[in-house]
C-alpha cells in the first residue's frame, strides 16, 4: 500500500499515430497535460520508432497506410484503427475544442498527400470521393517548377507570388459583361503560360512568371479543384458545412484562402480545423485509449 507521504506513480501517456505516405502525425496525452502534437517524416521509420520508445506509451492507437508496418517493427500491441473512422472521430473532438457544431452532418476534407472527402454524421463516416490532387501535387510540382525543397519553403514563396502571371482568367479572354462569371475566375490553370508559348507571340517577350508566381499557381490549381469538388458533393448530399484539415494546410495561408474563397463563393460554410493535420491521430488516440 502506498503511504500518505508517497506520491502515486503517474500512469504512462497514451499515443495516437497517423502514419501516412508523407508524414507521421503523433498526438500524445499525458495525465494532467494538454494534448501534444508532433510531426515526423514517414520515410524514416527508425526515428519514429525511437520517438515512440522515448515516450513509453501505456496505450497506443495507430491508423494510416503505414500503421501495420510500424506495429510490426515496434513489437508493441497497438489498437489499429480504420483511417476514415479515425479521421471522423478525431475531427469531432477537434471541432468541439473549437466550440463548433460537431453533431450536424458535415463533409470532412482530408488534404493529405492526396485528398479524401468524407461525410460525417455522429458516429457514421462514409467516404464520398476524393482526388489525387493534394500535398503530393503541391510539393512535387513545387519542386519541379521552383526548386523549393520543403513544404515550408514552398508555402512562404507562394505568399509572394501573383497567380495572374501564370493562370488564364476570364477577364483575359472576355470583356466585362460578356459572360456570367466574375473576371477573376480562373479559366485555365497555367493557361497564361500556354499563351506565352504561342508561335504568334511577339518576339523578345520574357516569360511572364517568376518562381513565386508559379508557387502561387500550384496552390491555385490544387485549392480551386479540391474546393470545387467538395462543393459539388456537398450540394449533391444536402450538406452545407465543409470541414477542412490535413497536412497540406499546415502553415499554408495561400491554399487556405483559396479554398475558403471558393467554398464560400459557392454557398458553402468552410471551417478549418485547428491542428487539423492530426485529426486521424486524435481519433486513433481515443480508440487506442479505450482498448
Catalytic residues: 83
For 270, the grid coordinates are 468552410
In degrees to the nearest 10, what's the CA dihedral of 209, 214, 215, 219? 130
Per DSSP, the chain holds a count of helices (H) and strands (E) of 10, 12
| 16 touches 285 (CB < 8 A) | yes
Alpha carbons 195 and 199: distance in angstroms, whole number = 9
User: For residue 140, which phi and psi values (nearest 5 degrees)?
Assistant: -60, -50
Query: Using CA atoms, how far apart are residues 224 and 221, in angstroms rounded to an integer?
Result: 6
What dihedral angle (degrees, nearest 10) is formed by the CA atoms of 245, 248, 249, 254? -140
Which residue's C-alpha cell is 514552398?
154
DSSP code per residue over 133-202: -SHHHHHHHHHHHH---SHHHHHHHHTT--GGGTSEEHHHHS-TTSSSS-TTSEEETTHHHHHHT-TTSP
Query: Alpha-carbon distance 88 to 121, whole Å?
Result: 9
C-alpha torsion 264→267→273→279, nearest 10: -130
As given in the structure block, the three cell numbers for residue 114 are 492526396
Please, which residues have CB within 8 angstroms of residue 96's CB and are 6 or more apart in sequence?
Answer: 102
State the Cα angle at 63 between 62 and 68, rounded to 5°: 75
CB 84 within 8 A of CB 123: no
Amino acid at each position: 500500500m502506498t503511504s500518505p507521504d508517497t506520491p502515486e506513480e503517474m500512469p504512462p501517456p497514451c499515443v495516437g499515430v497517423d502514419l501516412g505516405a508523407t508524414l507521421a502525425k503523433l498526438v500524445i496525452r499525458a495525465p494532467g497535460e494538454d494534448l501534444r502534437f508532433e510531426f515526423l517524416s514517414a520515410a524514416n521509420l527508425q526515428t519514429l520508432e525511437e520517438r515512440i520508445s522515448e515516450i513509453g506509451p501505456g496505450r497506443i492507437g495507430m491508423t494510416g497506410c503505414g500503421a501495420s508496418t510500424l506495429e510490426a517493427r515496434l513489437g508493441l500491441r497497438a489498437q489499429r484503427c480504420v483511417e476514415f473512422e479515425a479521421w471522423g472521430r478525431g475531427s469531432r473532438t477537434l471541432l468541439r475544442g473549437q466550440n463548433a457544431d460537431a453533431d450536424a452532418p458535415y463533409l470532412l476534407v482530408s488534404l493529405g498527400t492526396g485528398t479524401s472527402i468524407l461525410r460525417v454524421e455522429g458516429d457514421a463516416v462514409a467516404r464520398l470521393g476524393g482526388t489525387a490532387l493534394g500535398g503530393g501535387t503541391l510539393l512535387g510540382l513545387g519542386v519541379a517548377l521552383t526548386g523549393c525543397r520543403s513544404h515550408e519553403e514552398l508555402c512562404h514563396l507562394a505568399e509572394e507570388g501573383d497567380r495572374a502571371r501564370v493562370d488564364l482568367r476570364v477577364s483575359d479572354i472576355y470583356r466585362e459583361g460578356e459572360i456570367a462569371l466574375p473576371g477573376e475566375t480562373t479559366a485555365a490553370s497555367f493557361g497564361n503560360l500556354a499563351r506565352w508559348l504561342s508561335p504568334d507571340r511577339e518576339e523578345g517577350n520574357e516569360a511572364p512568371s517568376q518562381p513565386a508566381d508559379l508557387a502561387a499557381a500550384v496552390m491555385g490549381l490544387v485549392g480551386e479543384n479540391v474546393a470545387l469538388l467538395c462543393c459539388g458533393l456537398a450540394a449533391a448530399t444536402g450538406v452545407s458545412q465543409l470541414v477542412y484539415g490535413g497536412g497540406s494546410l499546415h502553415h499554408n495561408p495561400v491554399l487556405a484562402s483559396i479554398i475558403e474563397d471558393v467554398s464560400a463563393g459557392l454557398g458553402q460554410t468552410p471551417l478549418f480545423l485547428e491542428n487539423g493535420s492530426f485529426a486521424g491521430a486524435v481519433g486513433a488516440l481515443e480508440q487506442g485509449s479505450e482498448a
